[in-house]
Amino acid sequence: MSAVTKTFENVKAVILSAHKCSTSGDKVTFYNSWADNYDQDVALLDYRAPSLAANSISSHFSGDRETAVMLDVACGTGLVAKQMKRRGFGHFVGIDGSEAMLKLARESELYQDLKQSVLGEEPLPVQWGLFDVVVIVGALSVGQVPVAVVRELCKSTKPGGYVCMTTRSNKDNLEYKAALECELKRMEEEGLWTCVDVTEVEDWERAVSEVEDGYISGAVYLYKKLQ
């Protein structure tokens, strides 16, 4: 089916089928099969998270963008890196569980390095304290990446560097979102980082759940790692 004839209902059916994936292996298989159509499908969803995250980072980052190194966790095809490139960043390392997604990210020629890793099942395959910016967009949600992964994001960041995370606020994800915010606050109380900005966005993306219509909301979190 071409991108011209594909409809929102087609994309909705694809995404709802992912909810049936119960194991990490099933999820990787799903994303491998979705990779070739991913960019046009999320465009039909009016998926704004990559640009919203990039805006949050860009509005607070005061360092040298040309030399800054960004870790793009759950990078997919490279939508976040494309947005960051437009804002003056140019050094990207990507991690994703899907080899098919990584193949497309590789073809974008945006990344200096790409690594395959299933988040939550193995440690992030990077050196701790290396990155000026660490970002994870789209993967922090129920049935995807466990909340505990945010501690690894923090460990990967340089002191003074930024960690940007997003999550959805739809009904199915409210319990996960509450657990995520609890962990973010706990890490702040432990002196690991400080909250720079939280942006709640009404029109995050078009709803695909059978119990919601219109658009769902979401949130962007930006934290700065302490010395």
Determine the pLDDT at residue 5: 58
Return mean pLDDT, the chain: 93
Q: Given a cut of 70, is residue 2 above it in pLDDT?
A: no
Domain parsing of the chain, residue ranges: 8-44, 49-225
CATH entry, 49-225, from 3.50.50.60, 1.10.10.10, 3.90.79.10, 3.40.50.150 = 3.40.50.150
- State the pLDDT at residue 14: 83
SS3 per-residue string spanning 100-148: HHHHHHHHCCCCCEEEECCECCECCCCCCCCEEEEEECCCCCCCCCCCC
Torsion over CA: 11, 13, 14, 20 (sign)? positive
Answer yes or no: is pLDDT of 21 > 80: no
Least-confidence region, from 10-19, 30-39, 143-152: 10-19
Q: Report d(CA 73, CA 24) in Å as an integer.
A: 16
Task: Please say whether the dihedral angle defined by the alpha carbons of residues 47, 53, 54 and 59, taken in this order, is positive or negative.
Answer: positive
- What is the tally of helices (H) and strands (E) in the chain? 7, 7
- The pLDDT tens digits for 189-202 are 999 999 999 999 99
Whether the CB-CB separation of 177 and 169 falls below 8 Å is answered with yes
Tens digit of each residue's pLDDT (9 = 90 or more) over 140-187: 999 899 999 999 999 999 999 999 999 999 999 999 999 999 999 999
Residue 85's nearest CA partner among 106, 100, 70, 101 is: 70
**3 pLDDT higher than 60:** no
Can you give the pTM of this predicted structure? 0.94
